[in-house]
């Protein structure tokens, strides 16, 4: 975080400053801000966030032991540390992020990018950050820090030397993206797609469209909207951009996009294609597994070139990225049995893309195995979407389908109903049971996809399989 006095922090968060012995309102703090006491470093600020299972106020002493010099709390605690008492620490976190980013932006050379979409946010964020790091200090979220806590924590990592802030905006309901993006008013807003992810929380795909559109509403007038030309719902956001005097930069696979791809070819080591950037044709070799990541790469390239990075330079940097993120199409195992662990998150679109990738990369002599768990947050659409994925798995001729967890049982029933039987499809209530089965079933030449939402916990099953066959 940038250097601020205790008084300046207190004013930013509308809190009551209570300095510890030896400190006063003019004491300066510049350390990192965090809600996790285990991550606090000397000189840091600890935000005592109450949680569902633990209350951050109980960990103020632990934060002090790790070097915290200031705690933001909702009630005073008996710890030897300066405290700022606020009505709501999550609101205070957002207010502090707005203040810090605003001060850095006032110097004139900080560029801010916001990214949203039903799928691909984290991968695109990592791709864009990899490109921009070569231009200057770049701050981007760790993992999927994209909610009401994670997004402000990322913003608070900016320093006086930061040139680019890449923010990822997720949402579980209407208004959340507007609040988060409104803290920083991005110069660029990137919208990847509007799909069924979290549709249960939004009330349907049209409500999801309205929620994702909040990012373009938040981009400052005269900024740039980077939009998916292949997604009809995203394309409607051009009207919002034009009304706010924003330029529109299109990416996609179709011929009208400013940044597009042709001649896409997928294998077990990555994806090759020709990228056309404003008419210039350039080769791209993505080491990140999966054809669907081509669209994420196009979005990152569209944003980077809009920020002034030369297309050939951006592509060269992008090609150095080996992994989008842990548990996202992560290759594990060995050439003997290859495990693809993609079980950090799942929506109907990402589940379908992962299954298609599995089918694409397997050679005729190799057997495909899909280990599938539930897709969360689909609400009333859950049943039909699990049905659809079950049908797709059979029609892609996935040779073994292993369904795990009671919440995914309907997917298994759909597979059976579609005509996969006689041991081709099996169901297990727990990941441990599935692991035991797979250890006895997998053989040389198998290509295995592990895919589910985070809540299903199959990412740990994927890790176990990867270690066992490494």
d(CA 405, CA 306): 45
Are β-strands 16-18 and 446-451 bridged in parallel, bridged antiparallel, or unpaired? unpaired
Are β-strands 70-73 and 400-404 bridged in parallel, bridged antiparallel, or unpaired? unpaired
Q: Residues 181, 223: contact at Cβ < 8 Å?
A: no
d(CA 307, CA 329): 28
Question: Which candidate, 229, 224, 230, 198, places its Cα nearest to that of 212?
Answer: 198
Q: 17 pairs with which residues across the strands?
A: 84
Q: Residues 322, 287: contact at Cβ < 8 Å?
A: yes
Question: Which candidate, 66, 69, 93, 72, places its Cα nearest to that of 80?
Answer: 69
- Backbone dihedral angles phi then psi of residue 192, each to the nearest 5 degrees: -85, -50
SS3 2: coil
Please report, in range form, the residues annotated as the binding site for ATP. Answer: 117-123
d(CA 18, CA 411): 56
Please report, in range form, the residues annotated as the binding site. Answer: 117-123
SS3 226: strand
Q: Residues 308, 114: contact at Cβ < 8 Å?
A: no
């Amino acid at each position: 975080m940038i250097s601020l006095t205790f008084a300046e922090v207190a004013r930013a968060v509308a809190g009551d400053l209570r300095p510890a012995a030896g400190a006063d309102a003019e004491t300066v703090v510049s350390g990192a801000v965090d809600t996790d006491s285990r991550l606090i470093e000397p000189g840091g600020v600890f935000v005592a966030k109450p949680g569902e299972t633990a209350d951050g106020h109980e960990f103020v002493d632990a934060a002090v032991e790790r070097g915290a010099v200031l705690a933001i709390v909702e009630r005073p605690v008996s710890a030897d540390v300066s405290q700022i008492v606020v009505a709501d620490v999550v609101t205070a976190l957002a207010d502090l992020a707005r203040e810090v980013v605003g001060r850095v932006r006032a110097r004139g050379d900080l560029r801010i990018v916001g990214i949203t979409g039903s799928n691909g946010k984290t991968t695109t964020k990592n791709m864009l950050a990899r490109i921009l790091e070569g231009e200057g200090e770049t701050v981007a979220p760790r993992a999927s820090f994209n909610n009401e806590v994670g997004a402000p924590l990322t913003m608070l990592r900016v320093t006086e030397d930061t040139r680019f802030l890449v923010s990822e905006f997720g949402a579980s309901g209407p208004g959340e993206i507007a609040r988060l993006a409104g803290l920083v008013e991005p110069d660029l807003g990137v919208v990847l797609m509007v799909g069924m992810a979290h549709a249960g929380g939004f009330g349907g795909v049209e409500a999801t469209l309205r929620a994702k559109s909040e990012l373009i509403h938040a981009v400052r007038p005269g900024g740039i909207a980077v939009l998916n030309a292949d997604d009809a719902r995203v394309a409607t956001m051009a009207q919002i951009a034009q009304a706010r005097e924003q330029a529109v930069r299109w990416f996609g696979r179709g011929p009208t996009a400013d940044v597009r791809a042709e001649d896409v070819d997928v294998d077990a080591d990555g994806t090759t294609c020709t990228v056309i950037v404003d008419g210039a044709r350039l080769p791209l070799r993505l080491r990140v597994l999966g054809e669907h990541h081509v669209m994420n790469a196009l979005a990152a390239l569209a944003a980077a070139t809009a920020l002034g990075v030369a297309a050939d330079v951006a592509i060269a940097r992008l090609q150095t990225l080996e992994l989008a993120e842990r548990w996202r199409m992560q290759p594990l195992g060995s050439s003997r049995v290859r495990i693809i662990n993609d079980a950090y998150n799942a929506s109907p679109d990402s589940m379908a893309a992962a299954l298609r990738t599995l089918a694409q990369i397997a050679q005729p002599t190799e057997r495909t195995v899909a280990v599938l768990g539930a897709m969360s947050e689909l609400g009333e659409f859950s049943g039909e979407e699990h049905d659809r994925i079950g049908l797709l798995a059979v029609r892609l001729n996935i040779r073994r389908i292993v369904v795990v967890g009671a919440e995914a049982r309907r997917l298994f029933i759909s597979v059976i109903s579609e005509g996969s039987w006689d041991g081709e499809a099996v169901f297990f209530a727990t990941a441990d049971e599935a692991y035991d089965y797979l250890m006895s079933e997998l053989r040389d030449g198998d290509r295995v996809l592990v895919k589910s939402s985070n809540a299903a916990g199959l990412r740990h099953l994927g890790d176990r399989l990867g270690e066992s066959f490494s």
